[in-house]
Chains A and B, each alone.
Chain A
Amino acid sequence: MKLSHTLLTWAYWGVVATSMTVSAAPNNASEERHATKAPITVTIDAFQFQPDKIRIKRGQSVIFINKDEVPHTVTPGKNAHFVPSGIIKGGEQHEVLFESAGVQDYSCDFHPSMRGRVIVK
């Protein structure tokens, strides 16, 4: 009797666990899909893009946060395809959308030695 009760209990928790897994699955997938399109953050600090190389998916955007006191820009290189940020003043941020796949190199107009790369898959 005790054994059958134990088995029933295990069976009950088994069903609960399975149903939790099933009901949780779509949420996770949805979160994952959302996460892949969520913007990535690149910090501009001490005259450096950090990180200076990132990989994103097509249609994903990057938020550039300028932590320096001076203005910077995110300007596409020769073969890059995205809309230039224009001036990002110190303490401000700007979101850049990457719609074309490929290697997108960029630099700062005011400080050309500041360079970064976005690899869009």
Chain B
Amino acid sequence: MENMNNESDNSRRAALKAGIAISALAALSLTTLNSANANTGSDTKHDMAILNAALDLENQAIWAYGVAAGKLSDSKVGNVIKALALRNQADHIKHRDIFISTIKSLGGTPANAKGAYDLSAYIKAGEGNLDSDANIAKLALALEVDAVLAYASAVSKLRTPALVAAGLTILPDESAHAAAIRAVFSTLDSTIHAVPAAQLSKETRSQWILSA
């Protein structure tokens, strides 16, 4: 009986935590959510790991845009890309703060940002570089495209339906960033389209990326 009460208390506590966390996301996403969507403590732990991975992506994006902004030239193109980079970075900062408050509300510890991130895989693959304004923008594009793919994968594995709904309000923003970067290239080359494919998936990734 005591075990049953403990179990019931634990599940109530988990539901309450999830409810508060969902509210944190909902407050910014304007999605109507309630604690009835909250799941068990084990689901909360599972979802928290996914939220922390999403936080990792935000921290990486904030860092990358910071590095990129510092390397962009003072030319007209450089300034256009810098303005866009800083707008995208500001969105990522907001996303980061949402994830931090959500993870804390669930009783977890948000992952710390690293001092630097390794982007060599992108540079080796010819998907951008830090040596010119155009290549910096291409690198940012590749990162945003992969962020969309990672978000889609992460959101689909969340177990709390309300967190899925809230997560889906951030996902389109990430793909909008990719389209916005491509739109800048489109002003310089009319054959480049802001939205090059009907889907953004592992299969269409190469259509979205611009080689350096």
Q: Are B121 and A87 in contact (CB under 8 A)?
A: yes
Complex contacts, B87 vs chain A, CB 8 Å: none
Flag whether B76 is at the interface (Cβ < 8 A): no
The residue from B53, B118, B149, B157 contacting A114, defined by CB atoms under 8 A apart: B53
Q: Say whether, besides A90-B202, A111-B57, A46 and B149 are in contact (CB < 8 Å).
A: no
Q: Are B118 and A111 in contact (CB under 8 A)?
A: no
- Over the window 53-84 of chain A, the binary record of Cβ atoms lying under 8 Å from chain B Cβ atoms (1 yes, 0 no) is 00000000000000011100000000000000
Complex contacts, A87 vs chain B, CB 8 Å: 121
The residue from A45, A68, A90, A112 contacting B56, defined by CB atoms under 8 A apart: A112
Q: Are A46 and B50 in contact (CB under 8 A)?
A: yes
Q: Are B118 and A109 in contact (CB under 8 A)?
A: yes
Q: Are A113 and B55 in contact (CB under 8 A)?
A: yes
B103 to chain A: closest residue by CB = A113
Complex contacts, B146 vs chain A, CB 8 Å: 70
Number of interface residues of A (CB under 8 A): 15
Q: Are B53 and A47 in contact (CB under 8 A)?
A: yes
Q: Are A70 and B46 in contact (CB under 8 A)?
A: no
**A108 vs B55: C-alpha distance in the bound complex, in angstroms?**
14
Q: Are A48 and B153 in contact (CB under 8 A)?
A: no
Q: Say whether, besides A48-B46, A70-B146, A113 and B153 are in contact (CB < 8 Å).
A: no
**A68 vs B57: C-alpha distance in the bound complex, in angstroms?**
15
- Over the window 129-166 of chain B, the binary record of Cβ atoms lying under 8 Å from chain A Cβ atoms (1 yes, 0 no) is 00000000000000000100110111001000000000
Complex contacts, B202 vs chain A, CB 8 Å: 69, 90
Q: Are B149 and A48 in contact (CB under 8 A)?
A: no
The residue from B49, B57, B114, B150 contacting A48, defined by CB atoms under 8 A apart: B49
Q: Are B153 and A111 in contact (CB under 8 A)?
A: no
Q: Are A113 and B56 in contact (CB under 8 A)?
A: yes
Q: Are A70 and B52 in contact (CB under 8 A)?
A: no
A110 to chain B, nearest CB (A): 7
Q: Are A70 and B49 in contact (CB under 8 A)?
A: no
Complex contacts, B149 vs chain A, CB 8 Å: 69-70
Complex contacts, B114 vs chain A, CB 8 Å: 112
Binding site for A on B (CB under 8 A): 46, 49-50, 52-53, 55-57, 60, 111, 114, 118, 121, 146, 149-150, 152-154, 157, 202
6 residue pairs of the A-B complex, CB under 8 angstroms, read A46-B49, A47-B50, A48-B46, A68-B157, A69-B202, A110-B57
Binding site for B on A (CB under 8 A): 45-48, 68-70, 87, 90, 109-114
Known contacts A46-B50, A109-B118; 16 further A-B pairs (Cβ under 8 A)? A45-B157, A46-B46, A47-B50, A47-B157, A48-B50, A69-B149, A69-B153, A70-B146, A90-B202, A111-B53, A112-B56, A112-B111, A113-B49, A113-B53, A113-B56, A114-B49
